[in-house]
Amino acid sequence: MGHTCSFLLPLAVSVSAVLSYAQTGVAGKVDFNRQIRPIFSDKCFACHGPDSKHRMAGLRLDQKDSAMRVVVAGKRGESRLYQRVSQADAKRRMPPPGAEQTLTKEQVELIGKWIDQGAEWHTHWAYTAPVRPAVPEVSNKAWVRNPIDSFVLARLEKEGLKPSPEADRVTLLRRLSLDLTGLPPSREEVRAFLADKSANAYEKQVDRLLESPHYGERMAMQWLDLARYADTHGYHIDSHRDMWPWRDWVIQAFNTNMPYDKFTLWQLAGDLLPNPTREQILATGFNRNHMINFEGGAIPEEYMVEYNVDRVEATSVTWMGMTMGCARCHDHKYDPISQRDFYRFMAFFHNIDEKGLDGKAGNAQPVLALPDEGQAARVKELDAAIEAREKALPEKKVGEQVEAWMRSAEPPYGPADAVAHFELDGSFSDASGHYKPARVVAGNPTFSSGAAGQAVAFDGETQVDWAAARGEAFSAAFWFRLNNKLEQAILHKVESGKGALIRTDEAVSIGDLKRGAHLHVRLMGQGGAEVSTKKYVVQGEWTQVVVSYDGTGKAAGVRVYLNGEPTGLNVVADRLSGGVGNSAPWSTGNKTIDKPLRSQLDDVRFYARALTADEARQLAVDAPVRGILNGPEGRWSKEQKERVHDYYLTYAAGQEERKAWAELKELRASREKLDKQITTVMVMNELPQARDTFVLGRGDYRNHGEKVSAGVPASLPPLPHGAPANRLGLAEWLIDPTHPLTSRVAVNRFWQIYFGNGIVETAEDFGSQGSPPTHPQLLDWLATEFSGRHWDVKAMQKLIVMSATYRQSSKATPELMERDPQNRLLARMSRFRLAAEFVRDNALAVSGLLNGQIGGKSVFPYQPAGLWEELAYGDVFSAQTYTPSHGKDLYRRSMYTFWKRTVPPAQLSTFDAPDREKCIARRTRTNTPLQALVLMNDPTYIEAARALAEKVIAQGKRDAASRVRMAFEMAAARTPGTQEVKLLAGLAKKEEETFQRNPEEAKKLLEVGESRASGNAAELAAWTTVASAILNLDEVITKE
């Protein structure tokens, strides 16, 4: 190979339409589906198509019977259709003046020619079941390796073109390796292939790569785009989720060559199979990959609709190549899909046991737990122990004991030695037994709904003196609802500069549209001590607070409990000497001491000692339980009944029952803790009773129209006889060999992997607005071959890559560039840049840095600092701050990179990776200066260049020419030309001299990345520069 370097040719405008016209032209036989239907679809269907609400004059040009009312076959002059489109008077011409679409003279003439030739009408090709065509006869039989070549060559011979020669063996192996694994071949693999002179040497390489575990990764990559796989929920908070087990299942399914019909069935309805296995349920994660919202103030019903709309769109694009989403608000303007069809299809998915708003803590229900062996054994052990303890506390017996306890004169509530206890249910009376009511000193306090019963609302003008208590140690317990963001004192007991003060600082934003404040406890005497809580008290929410002080004169003697749990404290000051005791009462609202309270208090208690942690936990449940007990027992909810039983068994039952209950709670807590450690994945799970589904006017969740049941579009075959009208029936319908779309869409996407475009370029749209197939008979032959051979995915890949069509050289002659710049006729092999993930994987593999581990949790490779933080929503939620991985995880394949929807991996986005918010059937390919900047400056590529340089220095010879050849063979799988060797060897010499003069620059370059450099700094830096130049070559990131 004598070329020096290669460059990407910019793609011209789409030529599929041009090719379709060029095949026959106006002079030949006009093909309705390829030439007339696209005109009607583009120019006429908006007013004369499937959309009944916008249809004009009752005319449909998407249906034969209606269209033939304005066509006289064989006579264009008598056909009203031709008369109107060719009308000289602009006011009477169709499309009308002001329409966005107009017809060209060539299109008008084509319509006239079609009418003159008899106006033959054919159903849209994609909506009729594929019929296996005969393999065409060709002149150049020697070129044909399998039936694919016969179809391609027949077209080429018709166009007067010849196929290109076969590519050289090195190019073939590199192409094959990149296509089947997404990774380049090693030098050893190239040499082994070149040395193998057997007749089936190429086929052996095909089989080897199909059996590689990296094959499954490569095939899964396309599926992840379709499934909108990501590691976050999307929407504005975009927090973390765990769907990687489903991603790993997809990889495994491809590696084990799961038949495509089973692959389909499991993903759409694995949970509905009889006695489904864990893997069958796991597979249903496909339709849980959609975005999920839990924003405060969002409407659950609205997002339930959004999730199901997404499922309709993803399912229809993935398996049928249909844009059903266009029928959400009205009948489809171009394809025979009514709005009613859309909502009948949505009904298949509107029966999942899910919430409209969920996922705040990670995965949203329903989920599948995936314990490892150790966890599964521990679950079994804990469940057995829990069952044994539950038998010791039969519910009936406990219920009888609770009833007896409730009938007692006064069930005990909380620690009994309170100095004062103010329930605040409409009065300031003391429930402690000391009968000393609180005193209103100023203002007019009001009572409103509280944590249990009623509470006192303080307005900044009210002062209440609660109770006096002497001594150094104390505890104050109360329910508190912070009602504004201002600093304010909650309780104080201060006299002559001595005492205690409990207050809040100013509330700040703490994420999720919430504000919160820290609690401060100040001890005053000679000097002073002060602590503040590390946790926030959330504005607008009731919080049970216990502040205790042991009287030791140290900040360490203060304890604060929030909702029964101890909270961490920051020590603000710790210089107290002397006591804090005084004769003043505990008070709220005294403006002479601190800023008055403007919030609510409920169930206020004071003690002359420090309460224990157990007593603090009891107080957190005491008031709510009292509120339940004060209500009618017959109306208790299940949760209320459980709270009363828990309170009784924890604090009021006999010693034996309390012990048994404590053990049971501990076991349940251990089980709950274990559950949190077990990986889960979101899956589908059918409700026992189907939800109602309605046609939604204009797609609005509030605008219910006709109630509909689950069903498939009326324009397509019905569900198979006996199939249930649920997701299982839908899956069985899709994999029926007579389905017109499933097999076509699948093989078209396979074709897209290898040739850059599918036989139908618009892989997402096989409808009227989509591109017509360039080789329709080939598409149908492949589709029937695929379904007829048991949906064997690997066999289909092998068939394609074994073809002579695939093995052609990608070199383009001037004639081919002029006649077929986008290579739609396939007279050569397509040449295009690697997918974003493979650009990075290629550099890691060539350098030797690649960690080839298959599957596992997503990782965090290098990323420019601050990207996530720009859109972060505080530290309350997960996946808001980017922390890079370390060690081998930095060098995992790119498909394992943590995918945050609102900030997709920057390096991959630059090379056109999608954000994964929606189903994507094909990626765009762009060429931008940013891509070159990434290759030159991103730490991954600098580190890869250094690692490649280290290998060349360590394993290669000392002369520069040998090193250049070795680096080139590793990166491009070919031997460089003489001029290339001379140029790069000269670069190495020049750079080494430069770095010898500037050792700091060498050091700076070699410190990029986590791995450590070794050896002569100037030499290594110079060869790092050479390696970077090679890795930046167009041919290195391009599949030839």
Q: How many domains does the chain have?
A: 4
pLDDT digits (tens, 9 = 90+) for 641-674: 888 888 888 888 889 888 999 999 999 999 999 9
Closest CA to 547 of 598, 599, 492: 492
Tell me, yes or no, whether 541 and 428 share the same domain. Answer: yes
Amino acid letter for position 57: A
Residue with tokens 């007579």: 738
DSSP per-residue string spanning 749-797: HHHHHHHSS-SSS-TT--STTSPPPSSHHHHHHHHHHHHHTTT-HHHHH
533 sits in which H/E element? strand 527-533
The vertex-1039 CA angle with 1037 and 1040, nearest 5°, equals 120
Contact call for residues 35 and 790 (beta carbons, < 8 A): no
Q: What is the 3-state secondary structure (H, E, C) of 71-128?
A: CCCCCHHHCHHHHHHCCCCCCCCCCCCCCCCCCCHHHHHHHHHHHHCCCCCCCCHHHC
936-967 b/e (C-beta count within 10 Å ≥ 16 → b): eebbbbbbbbbbbbbbbbeebeeebeebbbbb
* Domain assignment of residue 236, yes or no: no
* Of the residues 736, 769, 801, the one at which a domain ends: 736
Contact between residue 626 and residue 482 where contact means Cβ atoms under 8 Å apart:
no
Task: Give this prediction's pTM.
Answer: 0.84
Residues 603 and 729 in one domain: no
Residues contacting 76, CB < 8 A, separation 6+ = 82, 111, 112, 115, 116
H-run or E-run covering 478: strand 474-481
Q: Which residue has the tokens 């104050």?
A: 476
Task: Tally the residues of the chain.
Answer: 1040
* Same domain membership, residue 688 and residue 597: no
CA-nearest of 495, 655, 505 to 580 is: 495
- Indicate if 455 and 601 belong to the same structural domain: yes
Domain extent for 344: 259-370+679-736
Residue 139: other Cβ atoms inside 10 A:
9
User: Tens digits of per-residue pLDDT, 312-321?
Assistant: 999 999 999 9
Last residue of a domain, one of 593, 610, 627: 610
Paired tokens of 684 = 């589908």
Which CATH number does the domain housing residue 582 bear? 2.60.120.200
Whether 715 is in a domain gets the answer: yes
As a whole number of angstroms, the distance between CA 492 and CA 374 comes to 53
Measure the CA–CA gap between 126 and 44, rounded to whole angstroms: 20
User: What is the spatial distance between Cα 682 and Cα 363, in angstroms, rounded to a whole number?
Assistant: 6
pLDDT at residue 911, rounded to an integer? 98
Q: Are residues 497 and 564 in the same domain?
A: yes
Is 779 part of any domain?
no
Helices 655-677 and 373-392, interaxial angle, to 10°? 160
* Residue type at position 676: K
Are 435 and 353 contained in the same domain? Answer: no
Q: Which amino acid is at 464?
A: V
Closest CA to 950 of 1009, 889, 865: 1009
For residue 471, give the nearest of 497, 498, 496 by alpha carbon: 498
Helix %, strand %, coil % for the chain, to 5? Answer: 45, 15, 45
DSSP-assigned letters across all residues of 606-671: EESSPPPHHHHHHHHHHHHHHHHHTS-GGG--HHHHHHHHHHIIIIIS-HHHHHHHHHHHHHHHHH
Query: Which residues on neighbouring strands pair with residue 457, listed in sequence order?
Result: 446, 600
Which stretches in the chain have pLDDT values below 50? Answer: 1-26, 409
DSSP annotation string for 681-742: EE---B-SSPPPEEEEGGG-TT-EEEEE-----TTSPPPPTT--SSHHHHHHHHTSTT-SSH
Q: Does residue 573 share a domain with residue 454?
A: yes
- Domain contains 68: yes
Q: Give domain status of residue 490, yes or no.
A: yes
3-state secondary structure of 539: coil
Instruction: Give the per-residue pLDDT at 16.
Output: 40
CA 516 vs CA 22, 520, 568, 623: distances in Å:
69, 13, 16, 23
Q: How many CA atoms lie within 13 A of 913 on its CB side?
A: 30
With CA atoms as reference, report the closest residue to 753 among 187, 311, 219: 219
Which of 575, 591, 610 delimits the end of a domain? 610
pLDDT of residue 192: 98
User: Are 429 and 544 part of one and the same domain?
Assistant: yes
**Tokens 């509030």 correspond to what residue?**
702
**Which residues, at least 6 apart from 755, have a Cβ–Cβ distance to it below 8 Å?**
823, 826, 829, 830
Indicate whether 286 and 433 sit together in one domain. Answer: no
Is residue 477, in this structure, part of any structural domain at all? yes
Q: Which amino acid is at 385?
A: A
| 460 occurs within a structural domain | yes
My answer on whether 352 and 425 are in the same domain is: no
My answer on whether 439 and 313 are in the same domain is no
- Pair of tokens at residue 55: 């249809």
Q: What angle do CA 600, 605, 606 make, to 5 degrees?
A: 125
CA distance 345 to 337: 11
Residue 793 lies in a domain: no
User: Which segments of 771-863 are extended strands (E)?
Assistant: 832-833
Asked if residue 589 and residue 528 are part of one domain, the reply reads yes
Rg (CA), the chain: 37
